[in-house]
């Protein structure tokens, strides 16, 4: 693995209708990191993800993914969106959803090729959802839906997997299963995910990106032998209470 | 119905009508499935009504300039494509103004059509057939145009199945996969425009929207993929067209309106039957649990 950061943002600024959402963002995510993005609602977490993927363009500053513009390497990024909504009357099986991850590979015309079908089934198997392949996507539970969407992202054979609140609508058991899948996937790919709580996640992630207009990265190793409980105590249930006064920067996650 | 089948064997105009209906049903099934999936029914409605401007303009020029070759359907094709592109561009650039653009195109297209028809010398016999269809007026010339449009629309619909499905299902993900989302959206709108023109010949521009949406809604209840929606709804539309033509011929009723009433009736019957059977199944389950 080269030294080029998987994701690097320098002096990035982004505003929405004139309101600054992110300012002075300087952050670097090393290859094979498993980064958890935390911060208050409206703090810019999803915006940060979309900038990384090239779905949004910064007002100023640079975003580089594997040293290149996000748009150029979009095909190497697998994306799992948040609160996925679609017309539930649209009949489509889980396998058909996952096959969309094969877009841009193989012949562009006509129906799906056989190898798209095979890869999609493999991706579903990897997230333990192989049995859902021929079920209607609209009949999937929240946990199953999330697995299918992760499988769709995996079907793209990504080098970076980006997930926006992958477990927000799941119960604790389903959440644990999703994170054990992610930890396994992390052996081969960089993972960036937005999360709303740090309780259990803190034992999974390798670094924490604290987002509230600014972005501050804490590798969990740098924080020493920090256990899940300790991190939870440090960050509290309300992320606005995060303290950065141990480091040289202060108050980035505060209001 | 027997009388009708006999008559089809004897009268060329009925054969043309039947051929036009069957051709249009294939395009209607394929494009209708995408229209429902991408939720652009209102846009399809706007395009359909704006077509009157094109029909009226072409007819006006045909009569006043003596351009015999200028079949009103050519005007319809131009107007429909223009409407589709304008609405598409507005919705890509200024999403919040999309409804305004559709409403404007809808009404301005119709108004232009009415003005052209008012200024066209002679008897305004065409207005009613533009609005409510006159499938019995299909000529060999228009049949060729219908066949060409049908081939084009269905070909594109099958060729770009994956891309059109992807932009309908999840635009952002499609973009990440390197698909030119805007281009395919405009392509879909143009395909919708051409399908609308096909359907105008069958049921008229006011009634197009029913044929484009209801059979797809019925098919959606029995399908597991967009392919199946296309196939099943095309069959439903074909059957409705044949039966509608037959009934209207036997009872001496306007064909377009008859087809639409049958379509509406079938839709209500299917909705009623499926919700009733769901209710029955639930009450059986309650009994089993008790």
Residue of A nearest to B228 (CA): A91
Q: Which residues of chain A from 25 to 64 reach within 8 Å of chain B, CB to CB?
A: 53, 55
pLDDT at B287: 66
A77 touches chain B (CB under 8 A): yes
Residue A85 burial (C-beta neighbours within 10 Å; 0-12, 13-18, 19+): exposed
A37 bridge partner residues: A194, A209
State the Cα–Cα distance between residues A74 and A79, nearest whole angstrom. 10
State the Cα–Cα distance between residues B39 and B50, nearest whole angstrom. 19
pLDDT at A247: 39
CB contact under 8 A, B176 and A55: yes
Interface probe for A, chosen from B96, B154, B159, B162 (most Cβ of A below 10 Å), is B162
Residue of A nearest to B226 (CA): A91
Structure tokens at A46: 């999803």
pLDDT at A240: 36
Query: Residue holding tokens 């697998």?
Result: A78
pLDDT digits (tens, 9 = 90+) for A60-106: 999 999 989 988 888 899 999 887 777 788 899 999 999 999 988 87
State the Cα–Cα distance between residues B88 and B175, nearest whole angstrom. 17
**In chain B, which stretches have pLDDT less than 70?**
123-125, 286-290
Helix%, strand%, coil% for chain B, nearest 5: 85, 0, 15
A208 bridge partner residues: A36, A218
Chain B residues in contact with A74 (beta carbon < 8 A): 175-178
Whole-angstrom CA distances from B129 to B72, B222, B256 are 12, 34, 9
- Could you tell me where the beta strands, DSSP code E, fall in chain B? none
Interface probe for A, chosen from B30, B173, B178 (most Cβ of A below 10 Å), is B173
Interface probe for B, chosen from A71, A103, A112 (most Cβ of B below 10 Å), is A103
Structure tokens at A74: 């979009």
pLDDT mean for each 10 residues of chain A (255 residues): 81 90 91 88 87 91 91 89 80 94 84 89 91 92 89 92 85 84 91 79 80 82 51 46 38 40
State the Cα–Cα distance between residues B150 and A154, nearest whole angstrom. 38
CB contact under 8 A, A109 and B179: no
Q: How wide is the angle at C-alpha B184 spanned by C-alphas A153 and A157, nearest 5°?
A: 20
pLDDT at A250: 34
Half-sphere CA count of A173, side-chain side, radius 13 A: 1
Q: What are phi and psi of A110, to 5 degrees?
A: 70, -165
CB contact under 8 A, B172 and A81: yes
Residue of A nearest to B229 (CA): A91
CB contact under 8 A, B177 and A109: no
Q: Which of B37, B173, B179 sits opposite A87 (nearest CB)?
A: B37
Q: What is the DSSP string of A204-217?
A: T-SEEEEEESEEEE
Parent domain of B50: 2-289
**Counted domains in chain B:** 1
pLDDT at A248: 36
Q: A178: helix, coil or strand?
A: helix
- Whether ipTM tops 0.90, in short, is no
Q: A159: helix, coil or strand?
A: coil
A73 touches chain B (CB under 8 A): no
Q: What is the DSSP string of B89-153?
A: HHHHH-GGGHHHHHHHHHHHHHHHHHHHHHHSSS--THHHHHHH--GGG--HHHHHHHHHHHHHH
Chain B residues in contact with A111 (beta carbon < 8 A): 161-162, 227
CB contact under 8 A, B176 and A75: yes
- The number of C-beta contacts closer than 8 angstroms across A and B is 84
Q: Which of B36, B160, B225 sits opposite A93 (nearest CB)?
A: B225
Q: Which residues of chain A from 177 to 206 reach within 8 Å of chain B, CB to CB?
A: none
Q: What are phi and psi of A224, to 5 degrees?
A: 85, -160
What residues have CB less than 8 Å from A91, skipping those under 6 apart? A136, A138, B220, B223, B224, B225, B226, B228, B229
Chain A residues in contact with B168 (beta carbon < 8 A): 90
Going by C-alpha positions, the residue among A194, A150, A153, A190 that lies closest to residue A174 is A150
- Strand bridging mode A19-29 / A207-212: unpaired
State the Cα–Cα distance between residues B276 and B278, nearest whole angstrom. 5
CB contact under 8 A, B175 and A87: no
Half-sphere CA count of B35, side-chain side, radius 13 A: 33
A84 touches chain B (CB under 8 A): yes
A111 touches chain B (CB under 8 A): yes
Largest CA distance in chain A: 58
Q: How wide is the angle at C-alpha A215 spanned by C-alphas A212 and A220, nearest 5°?
A: 110
- Strand bridging mode A19-29 / A7-16: antiparallel
Q: What is the CATH classification number for the domain harbouring B205?
A: 1.10.3470.10
CB contact under 8 A, A110 and B158: yes
Q: Which of A77, A84, A90 sits opposite B176 (nearest CB)?
A: A77
Q: Which of B161, B168, B229 sits opposite A110 (nearest CB)?
A: B161
B172 touches chain A (CB under 8 A): yes
- Helices vs. strands in chain B: H and E counts, helices first: 13, 0
Interface probe for A, chosen from B32, B167, B176 (most Cβ of A below 10 Å), is B176
Q: Which of B162, B176, B228 sits opposite A79 (nearest CB)?
A: B176
A100 touches chain B (CB under 8 A): yes
State the Cα–Cα distance between residues B119 and B235, nearest whole angstrom. 41
Q: Which of A103, A110, A136 sits opposite B177 (nearest CB)?
A: A103
Q: A10: helix, coil or strand?
A: strand
B253 touches chain A (CB under 8 A): no
CB contact under 8 A, A96 and B225: yes
pLDDT at A245: 39
Q: Which domains, ranges and CATH numbers included, belong to chain A? A: 7-87+158-241 (3.40.50.300)
Determine contact, residues A22/A215, Cβ cutoff 8 Å: yes
């Amino acid at each position: 693995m080269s030294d080029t950061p998987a994701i690097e943002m320098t002096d990035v600024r982004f505003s929405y209708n004139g309101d600054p959402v992110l300012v002075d963002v300087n952050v670097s995510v090393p290859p094979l990191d498993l980064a958890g993005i935390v911060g208050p609602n409206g703090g810019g977490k999803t915006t940060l993800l979309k900038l990384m993927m090239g779905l949004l363009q910064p007002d100023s500053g640079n975003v580089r993914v594997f040293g290149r513009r996000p748009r150029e390497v979009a095909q190497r990024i697998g994306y799992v969106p948040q609160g996925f909504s679609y017309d539930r009357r649209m009949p489509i099986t889980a396998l058909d959803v996952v096959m969309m991850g094969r877009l841009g590979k193989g012949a562009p015309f006509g129906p799906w090729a056989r190898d798209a079908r095979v890869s999609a089934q493999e991706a579903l198997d990897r997230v333990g959802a192989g049995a859902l392949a021929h079920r209607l996507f609209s009949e999937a539970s929240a946990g199953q839906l999330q697995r299918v969407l992760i499988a769709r992202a995996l079907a793209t054979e990504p080098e970076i997997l980006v997930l926006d609140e992958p477990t927000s609508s799941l119960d604790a058991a389903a959440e644990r299963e999703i994170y054990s899948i992610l930890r396994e996937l992390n052996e081969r790919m960089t993972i960036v995910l937005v999360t709303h709580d740090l309780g259990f996640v803190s034992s999974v992630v390798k670094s924490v990106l604290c987002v509230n207009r600014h972005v501050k990265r804490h590798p969990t190793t740098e924080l020493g032998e920090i256990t899940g409980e300790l991190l939870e105590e440090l960050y509290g249930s309300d992320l606005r209470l995060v303290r950065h006064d141990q480091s040289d920067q202060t108050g980035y996650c505060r209001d | 119905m027997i009388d009708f089948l006999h008559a089809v064997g004897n009268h060329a105009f009925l054969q043309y009508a039947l051929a036009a209906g069957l051709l249009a049903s294939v395009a209607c099934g394929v494009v209708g499935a995408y229209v429902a999936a991408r939720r652009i029914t209102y846009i399809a409605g706007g395009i359909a009504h704006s077509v009157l401007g094109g029909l009226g303009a072409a007819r006006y020029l045909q009569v006043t300039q003596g351009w015999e070759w200028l079949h009103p359907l050519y005007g319809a094709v131009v107007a429909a494509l223009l409407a589709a592109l304008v609405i598409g561009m507005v919705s890509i650039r200024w999403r919040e103004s999309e409804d305004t653009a559709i409403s404007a195109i809808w009404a301005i297209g119709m108004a232009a059509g009415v003005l052209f028809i008012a200024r066209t010398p002679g008897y305004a016999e065409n207005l009613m057939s533009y609005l409510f269809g006159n499938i019995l007026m299909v000529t060999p010339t228009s049949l060729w145009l219908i066949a060409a449009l049908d081939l084009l629309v269905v070909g594109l619909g099958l060729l770009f199945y994956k891309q059109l499905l992807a932009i309908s299902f999840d635009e952002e993900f499609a973009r990440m996969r390197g698909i030119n989302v805007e281009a395919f959206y405009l392509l879909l709108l143009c395909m919708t425009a051409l399908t609308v023109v096909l359907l105008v010949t069958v049921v008229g521009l006011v009634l197009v929207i029913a044929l484009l949406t209801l059979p797809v809604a019925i098919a959606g209840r029995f399908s597991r993929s967009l392919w199946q929606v296309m196939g099943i709804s095309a069959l439903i539309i074909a059957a409705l067209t044949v039966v509608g033509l037959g009934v209207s011929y036997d009872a001496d009723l306007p064909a377009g309106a008859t087809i639409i009433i049958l379509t509406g009736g079938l839709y209500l019957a299917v909705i009623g039957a499926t919700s009733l059977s769901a209710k029955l199944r639930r009450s059986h389950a309650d009994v089993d649990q008790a």
